[in-house]
Amino acid sequence: METRYLLRKDHLLPLLRRLQKGHRLVAPARNRHGDTFYAEVRDLDRFHLDLDTPPQESAKRFFLPQQEVLFTYRTDGPEGYGFSPVVAPSPPTVYFGLRPCDLTAILYTDLVLLKERRDPGYQRRRQEAVLIALGCSRPRASCFCNATKSGPFLDFGYDLQLTDLGDRFFVEVGRARGRQLVEDWHPFFAEAGEEDVKAQYQVALEAAGSFERSVDLDLAVRALADHGGSDALWAELASRCQGCGGCAFLCPTCTCYTLRDQCLGPSHGERLRCWDACTLAGFTRMAGGHNPADPGRDVLRRRFEHKLRDSVRQHGRPSCVGCGRCVGSCFGGVDMLMAIERLAGEAEPPEEGV
């Protein structure tokens, strides 16, 4: 079994300061308006590190920016057309305090973007990433990562995983980069004792018991795989969708993008890659105007089938990580929890126990 360590909270900032010397450091910060985001740390002493509030956005945009220039072009170059690729710098980065759902989302995105045709930008940024998870001792009311098996604590996938034990963090080592990090900075880490292991177990147990919503994801997945949702259900959800795209933009595993060419002058321009959302009519509408997916009927069918059925078939797990960011943010009240509940409700009622 991998050795477990302790990191005293007093030592956290000194450790991060040292990590920052060789790496870009990204950690959850609370800004003066009270919102918490993963943010790049410039000055650690003036950085309001917030390890209590799950950040309101996932780390997606660090790996897949909302808008990214792929290349620029000129039509008046010496040989007519000319293209210059734009490669944004991807420095080695430590992501500190990633929530298990957000870390799981990165692992899932790896399956999508690194398995067959590798996405070069994503690959560059991903290769340089050290992922340090912070287990969730206190899930938010909208969280359901227990149902998606992506939290509140992870069994694998992290480089390091921290558990808050009050005055100290319990540190689990996952992958080689985590082990290297502990070795490089071993004076900061003490070996954990039996009591600490028990304390961590207790925290994880309490966290697992503190979810407010009981979500039957498996039943919904099974229902969708067996017979799909009813037309009435999809029509009802579609009628609520207003096409803001917010669910996809906020979702840590939604990676759909669109390309657009931006003319910047008579003879030059750039190609941009931008986030796209499957709930937009333009996502599927064809050049002649026909839309194979009827927005009034299919717009959310496709989304939830993809998340809960196709992802399972293709990658072995649903592409929902239970982060709850879509919960309550939809203009029409549609979100993953609602879809799961409706789908599970439509499934055959389980045999009644006596």
* Size of site (CB under 8 A) for other proteins: 44
User: What is the pattern of x (binds other proteins, CB under 8 A) and - over residues 182-221?
Assistant: ----------------------------------------
- Binders of other proteins among 23-42, rule CB under 8 A? 31-35, 37, 39-40, 42
**Nearest Cα to 308, choosing from 263, 271, 342, 261?**
342
- CA pair distance 125, 62, nearest whole angstrom: 8
Taking the complex as a whole, how short is the minimal distance between the CB of residue 89 and other proteins, in angstroms?
Answer: 11
- Specify the residue, 118 or 260, whose C-beta has the smaller distance to other proteins: 260
Taking the complex as a whole, how short is the minimal distance between the CB of residue 282 and other proteins, in angstroms?
Answer: 4
- Specify the residue, 161 or 279, whose C-beta has the smaller distance to other proteins: 279
Q: Are the C-beta atoms of residues 253 and 275 closer than 8 Å to each other?
A: no
- Specify the residue, 64 or 224, whose C-beta has the smaller distance to other proteins: 64
Q: Are the C-beta atoms of residues 181 and 23 closer than 8 Å to each other?
A: no
User: What is the pattern of x (binds other proteins, CB under 8 A) and - over residues 277-316?
Assistant: ---xxx------x---------------------------
> For residue 18, what are the CA distances in angstroms to 51, 88, 184, 207?
19, 25, 10, 31
Residue 330 engages other proteins in binding (rule: CB under 8 A): yes
- Specify the residue, 165 or 254, whose C-beta has the smaller distance to other proteins: 254
User: What is the pattern of x (binds other proteins, CB under 8 A) and - over residues 242-281?
Assistant: xxxxx--xx-------x-x-xxxx--------x-x---xx
Taking the complex as a whole, how short is the minimal distance between the CB of residue 32 and other proteins, in angstroms?
Answer: 6
Contacting range for other proteins; rule: CB under 8 A; set: 15-23, 62-70, 102-110, 148-156: 62-70
- Specify the residue, 31 or 127, whose C-beta has the smaller distance to other proteins: 31
Taking the complex as a whole, how short is the minimal distance between the CB of residue 37 and other proteins, in angstroms?
Answer: 7
Residue type, 292: P
* Binding stretches for other proteins (CB under 8 A): 31-35, 37, 39-40, 42, 56-57, 61, 65-68, 239-240, 242-246, 249-250, 258, 260, 262-265, 274, 276, 280-282, 289, 325, 328-333
